Amino acid sequence: MKERTLHRDDKLKSGSEVGSLLLYNDDVNTFDHVIKSLVEVCGHDPVQAEQCALIVHFKGSCDVKTGLPEVLNAMSKSLNLKGLNSKVHIL
């Protein structure tokens, strides 16, 4: 399987599928772990990551990123490897 480097600046092309990366609440991970994971994997700044973590905690889930499904799938896999529960939905 050939690997492809994913870049933050990957742009959506006109007519491309758009996806949403959803993060779900759990009773296992700490706020610090969730925040650190969102910063590392999704490129959030710490304030944005904290806001997403709070939304996930109180609402049960949060759209943490939108973009190309192939990029979001890689992010979801990374978050899942860190023990978080995430899934990509096609919009």
Instruction: Specify if 4 maps to a domain.
Output: no
The model's pLDDT over 38-71, given as tens digits with 9 standing for 90+, comes to 999 999 999 999 999 999 999 999 999 999 999 9
65 φ, ψ (degrees, to nearest 5):
-165, 145
Instruction: Specify if 35 maps to a domain.
Output: yes
Integer Cα distance of 76 and 69 in angstroms = 10
Domain harbouring 63, CATH code: 3.30.1390.10
Instruction: Specify if 42 maps to a domain.
Output: yes
Q: Are 91 and 16 in contact (CB under 8 A)?
A: no
The model's pLDDT over 17-37, given as tens digits with 9 standing for 90+, comes to 999 999 999 999 999 999 999
H-helix or E-strand containing 88? strand 85-90
pLDDT of residue 3 exceeding 70: no
Structural domain including 37 reads 19-90
pTM of the full predicted structure? 0.83
Q: Residue 16: which pLDDT band, with cuts at 50, 70 and 90?
A: confident
pLDDT of residue 5 exceeding 70: no
Domain count, the chain: 1
Instruction: Specify if 13 maps to a domain.
Output: no
What is the predicted pLDDT for the residue at 1? 39
